[in-house]
Structure 1
Amino acid sequence: MKRSAFLLPIVAVVLVGIFSSVYVVDERQKALVLQFGRVVDVKEDPGLAFKLPLIQDVAYYDDRILSRDIDPIEVTPSDDRRLVVDAFARYRIANLRQFREANPTGGVEQAEQRLDDIVRSQMREVLGSVSSNEILSEDRAALMTRIASGSRSRAANLGLQIIDVRLKRTDLPPQNLDATFARMRAEREREAADEIARGEEAAQRIRAQADRTVVELTSEATRESEIARGEADARRNGIFAEAFSADPEFFEFYRSLTAYTRALQGSNSTLVLSPDSEFFDYLKTDRLPGDSGMPAPAAASAAAPLGNVAEGDAVDTTAEAVTDDDAPATTEVEIVPATGN
């Protein structure tokens, strides 16, 4: 019984020693075996490993490619146009022993801060040697390669391997952004005004051409219509002349009736004429046109009594004016003595 009680603590101490001397390295990690803070072994292969219990410790580090966002910095390219550049770097811990010696107390956090300083310094150096147009163009890929290459040698002293450096954003400083937008807006407005002016010029040219075409077509149509009208009038006059030349007396009678029709229009027309005026030749005579046996017109028959009116008498009479529609029109005619001659 006493022997069992004596062996149990020994077994417990042995088991604790065994478990504390065994450690496991994951495939995503690397491990350093430290004895009183000094590196005594580096374990890069995954698997089970042993160390001295109590006096040796194990420090684990990530063996994967890591990403580090670089704080935005302001750079001044060769054309003195300031830019705010935002970037990130991808890196990995290449030399674990050197990494530990370069960062004995701060570890990964201290190493990343120093990596930031290296990348920012290289960005200022590379981007300051080119113009802003090159930074904003497709040539920025070559610039990122230069930044990464220049940073690798300095990062190697920290036990780090820089895989790549990428520029995420390249913007103008806030104080210059509004002025740049205003200038861009003014340029766009000027271009728009130029386009509008060119459009107005083209529209005016098209309208002028259209107006000219309208005038030409209208003039041509008017000319043709006048020619056609003149030809028609000539034919009509020829027909009239041929018809009336056969009986001049009938032509004179027809023209008198036409004058009556145009002069005695309406219901209250008043004419002040001499009784012996030629205007009443066919209103105060019983003779027939041409004495050809043609019946006297109604207007002439109705006006026949006027031939016996004495000079100086005022009479009211009615006559039927012959119109194109043969519609009778009542006209009041007042005859007064002639004055003067």
Structure 2
Amino acid sequence: MKKLTYLIPVVVVLVAVFLSSIFIVDEREKALVLQFGQIKQVREEPGLAFKVPLIQEVVRYDDRILSLDTSPLEVTPSDDRRLIVDAFARYRIADVVRFRQAVGVGGLRVAEDRLADILTTQTREVLGSDGVTSNTILSPERANLMVRIRDQAQQRADALGLQVVDVRLKQTNLPDQNLEATFARMRAEREREAADEIARGNEAAQRVRAQADRTVVELTSEARRESEITRGEADAEANGIYAEAYGADAEFFEFYRSLTAYERALQGRNSSIVMSPDSEFFNYLNGSSGRQ
């Protein structure tokens, strides 16, 4: 019984030591076994692994693709048109040993700070190189520029044990002062185009009005000519009728002409005429004279 009392603590200690020597590597991570700061094991495959308890420790690193957003930076392309560029990168820890040696106990925080500096430097270098203008950056050709930034950043990220998977330019904007100048230039261009359109419209309207006025004059002249012809033909026909009527009954024609003269002379409600009673104008108003 006394032996059992001493045996239980020993077993517990042994079990604790055994359990502390076991660790599990997840499929989403890589692990390093360190002994007094020195790398003793590299575990990149998921599964069960062992270490020396109390002496060795396990440091785990994420094996997934990670994201890093860079701070907006100002670049000056070859056409001296400044731009504000906002980028982000996708990266992963490719060499865990080199990564540990490069960043030490700082881990991802130190690695991301260094990678952000690399991306900022390479972005300025690529976007400010010869032949790269602001129009190039704002066009579909920016895809080639992002590949160049990624490749050049990868050359420096190798020393950190990192793999730069992708680099993307999220936003490309003009600085506030340049933005206002650009808007002013765009407004001036649109106003000039509007003035040109208005001038062309006025010119076209003037041509239409001139054509319409000429057409009106031609139609009016043609109508006046036709009316004069019709009036002349009517007068000729009327004169023919008058002549025929005069030849048929001269006295009736004289009577008709007199009535027409009375109608024209005595128009309106307040018409008045002063003439001598024996005037020939009233022959047909005087019964005795009218029968002569």
Could you tell me which of 149, 168, 173 is aligned with 1:166?
A: 168
Number of the residue aligned with 1:225: 227
Number of the residue aligned with 2:46: 46
Provide, for residues 70-127 of structure 1, a one-character-per-residue CA deviation record: whole Å limited to 9, x for no partner: 1111011111111000001111111110000001121111001100111110111110
Moved more, 74-83 or 262-271: 262-271
Runs of 5+ in structure 1 lacking a partner? 292-341
1:209 aligns with 2:211: yes
Number of the residue aligned with 1:277: 279
Number of the residue aligned with 1:123: 123
Number of the residue aligned with 1:102: 102
SS at match of 1:273: coil
Between structures 1 and 2, the one with greater helix share: 2
- Hey, what's the Cα distance between the residues in 2 that align with 1:231 and 1:251? 21
Number of the residue aligned with 1:132: 134
- Hey, what's the Cα distance between the residues in 1 that align with 2:8 and 2:66? 48
Residues 239, 113 of structure 1: CA spacing in aligned structure 2 closer, same or farther, 3 A cutoff?
Answer: same
Q: CA deviation at 1:259?
A: 2.0
Runs of 5+ in structure 2 lacking a partner? none
Provide, for residues 152-203 of structure 1, a one-character-per-residue CA deviation record: whole Å limited to 9, x for no partner: 1110001011111111110011222222212212211221222222222222
Number of the residue aligned with 2:179: 177
1:180-191 superposed matches below 5 A: 180-191=182-193
- Hey, what's the Cα distance between the residues in 2 that align with 1:11 and 1:43? 29
Judge conservation of contact 2:34–2:56 (CA < 8 Å) in 1.
yes
Percent identity over paired residues = 68
- Hey, what's the Cα distance between the residues in 2 that align with 1:64 and 1:235? 112
Moved more, 125-134 or 223-232: 223-232
Q: What is the TM-score of this pair, normalised by structure 1?
A: 0.80
Q: CA deviation at 1:257?
A: 2.6
Number of the residue aligned with 1:87: 87
- Hey, what's the Cα distance between the residues in 1 that align with 2:248 and 2:2? 177
Aligned length: 290
Q: CA deviation at 1:284?
A: 4.2
Q: CA deviation at 1:265?
A: 4.4
Provide, for residues 216-266 of structure 1, a one-character-per-residue CA deviation record: whole Å limited to 9, x for no partner: 223222322321222122111111111112333433332223222332445
1:25 aligns with 2:25: yes
- Hey, what's the Cα distance between the residues in 2 that align with 1:108 and 1:270? 122
- Hey, what's the Cα distance between the residues in 2 that align with 1:57 and 1:49? 12
Number of the residue aligned with 2:262: 260
Number of the residue aligned with 1:307: none
Judge conservation of contact 2:283–2:290 (CA < 8 Å) in 1.
no
- Hey, what's the Cα distance between the residues in 1 that align with 2:168 and 2:82? 19
Number of the residue aligned with 1:76: 76
- Hey, what's the Cα distance between the residues in 2 that align with 1:8 and 1:268? 151
1:61 aligns with 2:61: yes
- Hey, what's the Cα distance between the residues in 2 that align with 1:52 and 1:135? 55
Q: CA deviation at 1:14?
A: 0.3
Moved more, 273-282 or 37-46: 273-282
SS at match of 2:48: strand
SS at match of 1:105: helix
- Hey, what's the Cα distance between the residues in 1 that align with 2:285 and 2:48? 150
- Hey, what's the Cα distance between the residues in 1 that align with 2:92 and 2:206? 70
SS at match of 1:142: helix
- Hey, what's the Cα distance between the residues in 1 that align with 2:150 and 2:212? 67
- Hey, what's the Cα distance between the residues in 1 that align with 2:269 and 2:86? 102
Moved more, 206-215 or 47-56: 206-215
Residues 134, 268 of structure 1: CA spacing in aligned structure 2 closer, same or farther, 3 A cutoff?
Answer: closer
Larger Rg: 1
Moved more, 128-137 or 51-60: 128-137
- Hey, what's the Cα distance between the residues in 1 that align with 2:16 and 2:247? 155
